[in-house]
Amino acid sequence: MSSPPEPHVLAVDLGTSGPKVALISASGRITAATFEANEVLYLPGGGAEQRPEEWWRSIARGVRRALRESGLPGSAIEAVNCTGQWSGTVALGGDGEPLCDAIIWMDTRGARHVAELTGGILNIAGYSPGALLAWLPRTGGIPSRSGKDSLAHILFLKNERPEIFEATRCFLEPKDWLNFKLTGRMVSTYDAIALHWLSDNRSIDAVDYHPRLLARAGIERHKLPDLIGATDIVGPLSAEAAGELGVPAGIPVVAGAPDTHSAAVGSGAVRDNEVHLYVGTSSWMLAHVPRMRSDPLHNQAALPAALPGRYLLLNEQECAGACLSFLRDRLLLVDDELTPGANRDGAYAAFDRLAAGVPAGSGGVIFTPWLYGERTPVEDHHVRGGFFNLSLETDRAQMIRAVLEGVAYNTRWLFDGVESFLGRRVPHINFIGGGACSDLWCQIMADVLGCRVRRVADPIHANLRGAAFLAQIALGRLDAADIPARVEIEREFVFEPRNRHVYEQMFKAFKTLYKNNRRLYANLNAWGVE
């Protein structure tokens, strides 16, 4: 008689490009994983939206495919946990259906409404003293002037789509909308709600909406979800959702966390002040810390973490891997009359091979990765990317390497702010995300940062592993202290002193380029040149 299959967690990671789904065993092994692509709808004026029902259909397909490929019966699934893109807004009507497409984290249409809410004639970095006093002590941060926070989305709907705002029963984050589809319950978590900037985060065990902040923003409490912890159980999986996914009804659905928070768990860097770097479409460099703190100078703050009783130093750089996609899809391998039928298969591996033949510093060529503005270490939605110091001798191998190095220079800029925030030298970082798959990029990061870069095994699935670990904590089968031992470090990269010297000079030039050109960028983009 055969033994029953090992219990698995169904983990869902709703990325911007589409959802990943994985079946993960209790020991942390990924038995099967799938990906389904989703479309981003770019709209005039900085709009960026996605269709919630497309998310759901893609997830259902992915779950059924993962079950087929794994050979596991649906009965092997003991819990569900969702993670995914943060700072998005789904407006649900009274019937529980979305009233419009989801506004996602890239959307900037609410920027002017945030400026009206938080600005003033007398201001510090664009914020009035009254706004700073209202937000910083309670939330640990303040609404971003970029307009990309969830609060900005809601203010956009209130001021420019009032019929949708008035009809909204509840505003939900993307992963919280998935939990609603799974259970029928409208809730959010202490960590996910932070970018609404309406919660008092001073006591990690008693996070709740603050009446003064709600009144200041003009948002009624009844339009917002109740709050629970990321490792709390939302409820049992509904029969309807179970039928669509092909797993048993009634299994627990864990509240879960945004992708930044679940990646922090999946990276294995869960002890206080341990740092991990994620490079995907965007990038971030985070660390768990014991207390709420703010660093407005570098636009970062320690806000509620997914792990119980903890805070997480949060920041984000807008474009990282997106810069390579831009290079591939917009400049080098465009299917047009110049390069008809351009084949993009294997492009990133070819980029690595070409760039590896170029000495550190790319012949003096510098790429600035600010293709979608920037959040940290400076918040500047006008700044843009570019190649600097090109000559007639510059070739595309140098330009490819310059893109890898430019992202690393930007990461170094952030790294300095992270070390300042932590008040200590960071000896090593755990590296995750698609960018960590490149040996060359790992080495460039080590050389530019001047610290050891530890690549986590299977770095692309760190978010999903983190979601599974959080589910195991919720089920009482794992403690946060056990996580580092379950995360394998596949390889360590040590910086090369000769390259380090070159990169120190290039990094200084990189920062000077921003300082000398930021007003020019503001003028160009104020004129509407995009």
Convert the pLDDT of each residue in 318-361 to its tens digit: 999 999 999 999 999 999 999 898 899 999 999 999 999 999 99
Per the model's pLDDT, the better-predicted residue between 468 and 28 turns out to be 468
- The alpha carbon torsion through 236, 241, 247, 252 (nearest 10 deg) reads -20
User: Residue 5 pLDDT more than 80?
Assistant: yes
pLDDT in tens, 225-237: 999 999 999 999 9
Domain 8-256: CATH class, spelled out: alpha beta
Same topology between domain 8-256 and domain 294-304+315-321+352-526: yes
Q: Output the pLDDT for position 97.
A: 97
Calpha distance 66→82 (Å, rounded): 15
CA-wise closest residue to 405 among 444, 447, 352: 444
pLDDT in tens, 399-444: 999 999 999 999 999 999 999 999 999 999 999 999 999 999 999 9
Element counts in the chain: helices (H) and strands (E): 15, 25
Calculate mean pLDDT across residues 503-518.
97
User: What's the Cα-to-Cα distance from 279 to each of 25, 51, 70, 260, 285, rounded to whole Å?
Assistant: 26, 25, 28, 11, 9
Q: Helices 150-160 and 111-118 sit at what angle, rounded to 10 degrees?
A: 100
Calpha distance 190→195 (Å, rounded): 10
Calpha distance 209→222 (Å, rounded): 11
User: What's the Cα-to-Cα distance from 99 to each of 158, 159, 192, 373, 504, rounded to whole Å?
Assistant: 13, 16, 21, 29, 51
Calculate mean pLDDT across residues 263-283.
96
Second-level CATH architecture of 294-304+315-321+352-526: 2-Layer Sandwich (3.30)
Q: In terms of pTM, does the model score above 0.85? A: yes
Calpha distance 27→178 (Å, rounded): 25
Calpha distance 74→237 (Å, rounded): 13
Calculate mean pLDDT across residues 289-305.
92
pLDDT in tens, 47-60: 999 999 999 999 99
Q: Domain ranges for the chain, please list them.
A: 8-256, 294-304+315-321+352-526
